[in-house]
Amino acid sequence: MNGVETRTNYLNAEYGLLSWLLTRDHKRIAILYLVSVTIMFAIGGLFAAAVRLELLTPQGDLLAADTYNKMFSMHGIIMVFFFLLPAIPATLGNFLIPMMIGARDLAFPRINLLSWYLYVIGALFTLYAMVTGGVDTGWTFYTPFSTTASNTNVVPTAIGIFINGFSGILTGLNFIVTIHRMRAPGLTWFRLPLFVWAHYATSLIQVLGTPVLAITLVMVALERAFHFGIFDPAYGGDPLLFQHLFWFYSHPAVYIMILPAMGVISELVTCFSRKSIFGYSFVALSSVAIAVLGFLVWAHHMFVTGMSVYAAMIFSFISFGVAIPSAVKVFNWTATLYKGSISYSAPMLYALGFIGLFTIGGLTGLFLATLGVDVHVTDTYFVVAHFHYVMVGGTIMAYLGGLHFWWPKITGRLYPEIWARISAAIVFLGFNLTFFPQFILGYLGMPRRYHVYPDEFQVLNVLSTAGASILGVGYLLPFIYLGWSMRYGALAPANPWGATGLEWETPSPPPTENFETPPVVTRPAYAYDLEEVTVG
Amino acid sequence: MASNFALFPERASTVAGEVDALYLFLVAVSGFFAVLIAALVVVFAIKYRRRAEDERPQAIHGSLALELAWTIIPFGLAMVMFFWGAKVYITLAVPPPNAMEVFVVGKQWMWKLQHLEGKREINELHVPVGQPIKLTMTSEDVIHSFYVPAFRIKQDAIPGRYTTAWFEPTKVGTYHLFCAEYCGTEHAKMIGRIVVMEPAEYQAWLAGTATTAVAAVPAAKPEDQQAAMAAAGAELFQKLGCVSCHRAQAGALGPSLAGLFGHNVALQDGSTVVADEDYIRESILNPQAKIVAGYQPIMPTFKGLVNEEQLMQLIAYIKTGKAGTETQ
Ligand code: HEM
Ligand SMILES: [Cu+2]
C-alpha cells in the first residue's frame, strides 16, 4: 500500500472483490459483517431521526399517521434484527473468538460464510418490504393486528427476519463447536477470556431460541394467507398464543444483545485497569445463569393481558432472579477498578459509560418486574427508555468500545485518540439527554407508539429530541475518524494496549492463519500481574 | 390535564397512592445503587489513575464474602419489591363486591362504553366519585389497552375474551383515557376521557339530558330500572330464539340458564367449568366446544348474528339469574 506494510496479512493476502465474497477466513467475514451491520445501523438511525423529529411537537405535523407507524416499525425491526442481534457476535465475535482460543479459524468456515449470505438476503428482503410499502406492525408483530388488520408488507418482512434467523442459528452453532473443540493446548474452560464465555452463553440462546421465532413467523404468514385460525379469534385462534411464542424467543433475545456486550466490557475493564477481573468464575458463570434464567421470564411482557395472578407472580419472581447475575457483573467490574492502574483511553471511557448506562437500564428493569408498578408503566415511554438504556446504552457503548479496542488489531492502524475520547463523551451526554426524560414521560403516562400526544408531554419530548441530535453527532464521529484512520492512522504494533489474551500475541493485522506457530496457554486469563510490561 | 408541563402524574384513584408509594420506594433503592456505583467508578477512576506507563498493580482475584454479600443483599431487596408489587397487583386485580359495572368494547379506533343502566358513551366515561367501578372489556378487532394514568390502571382489551379492571375515583375531574396497545393507523388518537362527577351530578347526567343514550336499547321495564342492559339482553334472548330451548321447564332442549352464572357446570366429557363471562361467550359463539352433560350438541352458533355489545347484553341478562324464566 504505502510501502511500509510488506508483511502478508489477512487483508492483503488476496485482492479483488471475489476474494472477499468467497472468503472463508473468519476475519474477512467479520469485516463483511462490519460493513453490512454499519449500513443497517445507519438506515435504522435515519428512521429514528424521523420518529424523533415528529415527536418534537404534539401534533402530527411532519408525518402522516401511517408513515409514522411504519417509521417506528422499521426502526425497531432493523435495529433489533439487523443491528443489535448480530453486531457484536458477528463482527467482534467472528473476528476474535478463533484468535482468543488460539485456533486457525472457526470450526465450519464455509457455514460461516453462508451465515453472512443469509444475513444479507434477509436484510435485502426486509429492505425490499420497506421500499415497496413498508410495514406498520411494530417489531413485535402482535396478532391479530399483524395477521388480519394490517395491510402492509408483513409477510416479506417476516421472510426477511426468518432468513436472518438462520444466520444467527448457524453462527451460534459454529461458535459452540469451535469453543468446545478448538481451544489451544492448556486453554481450559476456566482460563477462557470472559468474552468467549459470554459468546458461548449467547450462542446457546441463539440455537435454542431462534427456531421458536422462525416457527412463529411462519405461523403468522400462514395465518395471514390462509386464515388458519392460529392467532385470530375471528377464525378460532388465540391472540395471546402469539405473545407467548414471540416473547419466549424475544426475551432471551435481549440477552443475545447484552451478553456479548458484557463480554466486551470485561475485556476492556481488565485491560485498562491492568487488573485481573474481580471474581472471574462468578462473572463467567453469571453469563450462563442469565442465558438459562432468561428463558423463564417471557411472560413479564404480558402482565396486563389478564393472565392469572399466580402466573404473574411466578414470572415476576423469576424476573427478579435474572436481575441478580446482572447486578453481580456490575459489582465485579467496579471492584476490578479498585487499586488498579486506570488509563482513560477511549475504549475505557466507553466501558465506564457502559457501566453507568447499563446500571440505569438494569435498575429500571426492576420497576418493570414489580407487578403493581408495571401495570402503570408498561407500554409507555418508560419502557422505551428502559430498553434503549439496556440495548442502545449497553450494547452500542460496548460495541463502540470494543471496536476501538480491537481496531488496531483489525486494521493494523491506530485511531486518533483525542477524537475518540470526545465522541465517547458526546455519546454519553447525548444519550442521557435523549432517554432520561422518557422515564419521566412514561411515569406521567405517555403511551409508546404515539405520533400525536397531549400538550403537557411536549417539554420532555423536546429535550429528548434535542438529545437525539447530540447523540447522532456522537455516532457519526466514529464513522469519520475510524474511516480516516484506515488510511492515515499510525501503524499499530501487535499489542498497543499491553493487554493479555492470545489475539495480542500475533501481529496486527494478523496473518490469514492467525498464528505463525500454534500457541500454548500456561496462564489464567487476565494475568496482568504476571505479564512483563511490554506495550507494543 | 390542563397544565403544560408536569413531573408527576395526577393521582385520582384509591390505588394511585399505593402504586406511587411503591414506585417511590423503587426510585429510592435504585437511586441509591445508581449513585453508589457511579461514585465508586468515579472515585476509583480518579484515585487509581495510571501514574506510570509501567505500573503493575497487585492482582486481587476476588472474595467469596463480597460475592455472597452483593448477591444476597440485592436479592433481599428484590424480594421486598416482589412481594410489595404482588400485593398491589392483587389489589388491582380484585374489584370490591359493591363495584358498579361498566362494559367496554375497544374497536379501531374508539372506546365504546356502556353502563348497566343502558347508557352508552363513546370515548367518554362518566362515573361518580367515591364509587368503585368494575370494567369488563373486550375488543371487536385487534388488541387494545385501556389505560388511565391518573388511576394507575391499564388492562388489555382482547378480542375473543373478557378481561376486567377496576378503579375507585377519588377526585372530581377529567382524566385521559389512552389506548396503550398499538392498534394501527389512529392508535395515537384512540384517546378518550374519564369524567368523574359528584354522585348527584352523575345521577342527573344519567337520568337527564341523556342525549347520548342510544335508541337501540329498549326502554327498561319500570321495575327493572337499574338494569337496562339486562333488559336489552332479555329482548335479544327472545328475538334470537334462545328462549325456545333454554327455558326452565322439564324436557327443554337446552339447559336452563336461570341461576347459571358463577356456578359449576358439569360437561359431557366429565369435566366441569365455571359459568363465567368467557364460558357464556364461548357457548354462544361456539356451542359445540363445551357440551353440558345430558344434552345433545344441537345448539347453532350465533357467530355473526350478535356483536360484542349484544354479547355483553346477553351476559348481563344471564347474570340476573332470570334468563328463560319469564316469557313475554
Ligand atoms: C439516536 C438514537 C435513537 C433514537 C432517538 C431513538 C428513538 C426511538 C423512538 C422515538 C422510538 C419509538 C418509540 C415508540 O413510539 O414506541 C424508538 C423505538 C425503538 N428503538 Fe430507538 N432510537 C434510537 C436508537 C436506537 C437504536 C440504536 C436501537 C437499536 C440498535 C433502537 C431500538 C429501538 C427499538 C427496538 C424500538 C421499538 C420499535 C417498536 O416500537 O416497534 N433505537 N426509538
Ligand atoms: Cu387501540
Average confidence score pLDDT of chain A: 93
Q: Does the beta-carbon distance from B40 to A337 stay under 8 Å?
A: yes
- Closest-CA residue in chain A for B64? A279
- Closest-CA residue in chain A for B165? A306
**Ligand 1 centre distance from Cα of residue A269 (Å):** 28
- CB-nearest partner of B183 from A145, A372, A448: A145
Q: In what order do the strands lie in the sheet with B110-115?
A: B120-122, B110-115, B100-107, B133-139, B163-167
Distance in angstroms (rounded) separating the CA atoms of residues A342 and A355:
15
Which residue's CA lies nearest to atom 27 of ligand 1? A392
Q: Does the beta-carbon distance from A367 to B59 stay under 8 Å?
A: no
Chain B interface includes A360 (CB < 8 A): yes
The full length of chain B comes to 328
Side chain identity at residue B11, one-letter code:
R
> How crowded is the C-beta side of A205, counted as CA atoms within 13 Å?
30
Cβ atoms of A89 and A260 within 8 Å: the answer is: yes
Kind of pairing between the strands at B144-148 and B153-157: antiparallel
Q: Indicate which atom in ligand 1 lies nearest the CA of residue A475.
A: 1
Instruction: Render A176-208 in DSSP notation, one character per residue.
Output: HHHHHH-PPTT--GGGS-HHHHHHHHHHHHHHH
CA of A448, nearest ligand number: 1
- Closest-CA residue in chain A for B186? A65
Which residue's CA lies nearest to atom 38 of ligand 1? A76
To the nearest whole Å, the CA of B75 is away from the closest chain A CA by 7
Strands (DSSP E) contained in A338-410 are none
Distance of CA A480 to the CA centre of its chain: 22
Interface of A with B in 459-478 (CB under 8 A): 459-460
Which of A375, A460, A495 would you mutate first to test chain B, the one with the most B CBs within 10 A?
A375
- CB-nearest partner of B89 from A136, A312, A367: A312
Distance in angstroms (rounded) separating the CA atoms of residues A536 and A516:
18
Task: Give tens-digit pLDDT for A469-500.
Answer: 999 999 999 999 999 999 999 999 999 999 99
Task: Give tens-digit pLDDT for A175-200.
Answer: 999 999 999 999 999 999 999 999 99
Which of A322, A366, A528 would you mutate first to test chain B, the one with the most B CBs within 10 A?
A366
Distances (CA, A) of A424 to A200, A225, A246, A484: 28, 48, 35, 17
Cell numbers at residue A140, please? Answer: 413485535
CB atoms within 10 A of CB A185: 10
Which residue's CA lies nearest to atom 4 of ligand 1? A48
Which residue's CA lies nearest to atom 36 of ligand 1? A76
Which of A266, A342, A446, A458 would you mutate first to test chain B, the one with the most B CBs within 10 A?
A342
- Closest-CA residue in chain A for B89? A372
For ligand 1, residues with CB inside 6 Å are A 48, 51-52, 72-73, 75-76, 79-80, 83-84, 138-139, 384, 388, 391-392, 396, 434, 448-449, 468, 471-472
Interface of A with B in 198-257 (CB under 8 A): 232-234, 236, 238-240
pLDDT in tens, chain B (328 residues): 445 667 889 999 999 999 999 999 999 999 999 999 999 999 999 999 998 888 888 888 888 999 899 999 999 999 999 999 999 999 999 999 999 999 999 999 999 999 988 888 999 999 999 999 999 999 999 999 999 999 999 999 999 999 999 999 999 999 999 999 999 999 999 999 999 999 999 999 988 654 444 433 444 444 444 567 888 888 888 888 888 888 877 777 888 888 888 888 888 888 888 888 888 888 888 888 888 888 888 888 888 888 888 888 888 888 888 887 765 4
> How crowded is the C-beta side of A430, counted as CA atoms within 13 Å?
19
CA-nearest of B132, B102, B110 to B192 is: B110
Distance in angstroms (rounded) separating the CA atoms of residues B149 and B193:
11
To the nearest whole Å, the CA of B276 is away from the closest chain A CA by 15
- Closest-CA residue in chain A for B25? A367
Low-confidence ranges of chain A (pLDDT < 50): 1-3
Chain B interface includes A310 (CB < 8 A): no
Q: Indicate which atom in ligand 1 lies nearest the CA of residue A472.
A: 1
To the nearest whole Å, the CA of B325 is away from the closest chain A CA by 32
Q: Does the beta-carbon distance from B19 to A359 stay under 8 Å?
A: no
CA-nearest of A242, A252, A222 to A140 is: A242
Phi-psi region of A16 (alpha: psi -120 to 50; beta: other; left: phi over 0): left
pLDDT of residue B221: 42
Task: Give tens-digit pLDDT for A76-90.
Answer: 999 999 999 999 999
